[in-house]
Amino acid sequence: MRRTKILATIGPASESKEVLSKMVDAGLNAVRCNFSHGTADDHRKRVQLIREVAKEKGVYIGILADLQGPKIRVAKFKDGKVLLKNGDTFILDAEMDKAAGDEKSVGIDYKELPNDVKKGDVLLLDDGKIVLTVAKVEGAKVHCKVTVGGKLSNNKGINKKGGGLTAPALTEKDKEDIKTAAALEVDYVAVSFPRDAKDMEYARKLLLESGSEAGVVAKVERTEAVANIEEIIKASDAIMVARGDLAVEIGDENVPAAQKMIIRLTRELDKVVITATQMMESMITSSTPTRAEVSDVANAVLDGTDVVMLSAESAAGDYPVETVSAMSRVCEAAENSNLVHIVSKDNVTRHHDRVDEAVASAAVYLANHVDAKAIISLTESGSTALWMSRINTHLPIYALSRNRMTLGKMTLYRGVVPIEFDSTRMARFYVNREASLELEKRGIVKAGEWMVLTSGDHMGVHGGTNKIKVIQAGNVV
């Protein structure tokens, strides 16, 4: 069983029932709805389709709503684009008409830019393809010298090298989109460009006020986010290493080390980590990935990432199904190699503050040292399954829960398979037997095979896991 999860962006190339069904068959675990594009009605239709396909397939497919975040971009040019030459002067003007840009100046969406920069600052446009050095700031105008020129077209992004732009992570549009995401009952909401834990806490507050307990995902895209990474991880349910904007801000040469550090720390703090951006970029137009892309995905798996993500490859590419299939093969091969050694923070001498966490740790240790076929976690909140997924094991973890939100969140947990199962509807002394029968019916285990099961004395109670039992399929009492 492949343990690393695949998250794919849904767009024009993949929003038909036929294609989405094939992507699920190819190994899709969760989908990303990009709120930078489309209307609330567009997202509603996609979510309905995703749930329809998942129901037909008998699986859970997680849904992540990705907020747009602040638009730090140039406005538009009269001719759609301009050519900037090295040594030219170019003005970013916060008061200029949004469609009047030319070779001398252009408007900007982010009106606070003149207050955030000073002489000598370096601005990177269009993912760093264009480099400007600030010469002076006069009122609403930022006068720049073109250091690295090229073609610049409408609405391209602006980054400040080294970070420091004060734009809030959540815009008014994002706040409305949070309400939409809550109404759609998505499993996760991703926050773009958070700077610190307060941004994530605010997003969670808005979700709760909208009636949603969706997990919050921090997209690490700013220099400030890397500096505040530990507090951001603690305030979030998941972290996304968003390597596009991050590379522009900290330098692409620094991204690999940052990625490894973030994956390691996120796992240590018992949170989910997603690795994203250009993982199989060439498959937008090619039916096979490059060798470098294969190595990139494999190395993320070897580092211990929970999830690998596809963006334009699945949203707008020519081969969305083939891309998911290729990514699945690479993940599985990396997991099966002799090089896999994800450093686990867990060991037999570690002290646990919570009984249910200690039970999760002990269950995996036990399963690793007996001839077990699988681990079963009867869980209400999913915490036991999450803790289990942080510990090295080759065994699949089947997380049985009645809670729809819990099942959705667990679609991104490494090595965890969520299964709907309501233990509160049966007599307590039948629960273990019914859990075993559930796996037997699905062809996961056969009569006589051993499993390690965790549960609580009181079913349906958060944090109540306090028991471990070794059971044998076909012989559970």
- List the catalytic residues: 32, 73, 219, 277
Q: Is 254 left (phi over 0), alpha (psi -120 to 50) or beta?
A: alpha
Give me the sign of the Cα torsion angle 236, 238, 243, 244: negative
- Among the listed residues 83, 162, 91, 73, the one whose alpha carbon sits nearest the alpha carbon of residue 132: 91
- Among the listed residues 73, 327, 39, 366, the one whose alpha carbon sits nearest the alpha carbon of residue 180: 39
Residue 353 to residues 185, 350, 359, 382, 390, Cα–Cα distance (Å)? 32, 10, 11, 18, 16
Residue 99 to residues 102, 142, 338, Cα–Cα distance (Å)? 9, 18, 57
Length of the chain: 477
